[in-house]
Structure 1
Amino acid sequence: MNSRFFDMLRRALPVVPLALCVSGQAKAAPAPSLCAPDEQVAFSCPIARSHKIVSLCLAPGKTTPPAARYVFGTASHPELIYPAEGRARANFRTSRLRYAGGTGGNAYSFVKDGTQYILFHISGAGLENAGVIVKPVNQIYASVELDCRPSTAFDALDGDLLLEITRSWGPDPELDGMALPVTKN
């Protein structure tokens, strides 16, 4: 899906907040990930038209807030690892995306060097889309949207369970209950 779809969806469907609920169990990861063997794969998918992968990895153990890493690139050449220093605390945020018509999803975001990175997964009403959006902080439009290969996005944990685990990160005020940013056409 391209950014035009999200722009159309944002205009056509009202955003409806959704209360968190806990359900589901951990699943085995069918998609490749860039997580370390001792980390829980929270989300991972190959990026369309490339050999790159994006992964959100949770550190082992039960710390609050949970320590996590964002990894983008290939196994032999990770281009961005956040946070760069091991499993240091980071400013991750977690948000629930909800649209009318049974469409919704999750977004996990962080800010690094004046740039916001948004990892997302949306599904429902015949739609399945996931990927990464990159945008300058305090800007309306995204500068980059990289979609996952169709049908490869993988939430290792049920989306609601993952939200429950990561809710101590706090919501992203620009995303929670809002539409995802789109690229300027």
Structure 2
Amino acid sequence: MTPEVTGGPVPGTPALPVIEAVSDADRVRDPNVRQFLSLWFAEANAGRRPGKDFLDPLRLRFLLGSLSLLEVQKDPLRFRYRLAGTDVVQRLGTELTGKWLDDHPNPVFRPLLIQGARMVYHTGRPVYGGMDTRALGQDWSLEVVAVPLFAPDGSVGWIGAGQSFPPDKAERMPGQPIS
């Protein structure tokens, strides 16, 4: 079990990651990730339980390369990548589709991603993850929003995620393996 990680940047110290339930899209700074969450809330607030079809590439084309889809396995609880956008794959330097979340190649982000996915699954609500960081030669805010996608029986069957990346940067994140 991973420890609860909350908090935020403290002036003069390295930024701490934030993982928390989110009920307002205005919490998200990245405009594309904020729009992704706003669309999920619009559907959910209209009385629909967004399903896997929420990740329609035409509707979400503004974030297409930065989307991921996780399938939920319930016994034991695990998450498998069914889709990893091209931006995600390019920056990690490895294809994730078909791999388990607990095999994520970044050992720093792996426990945070698992914690966020578990929160989405158990609460049935969106989760925000973010941290201010320096990567790829610039300061930027890494933001990830994970949303529940419901199966026909009403359970969380999938988790959709959209994330931000530094603009105009295509190289791998520091510490990532070369495939």
- For normalisation by structure 2, the TM-score amounts to 0.30
Q: Choose between structure 1 and 2: higher strand proportion.
A: 1
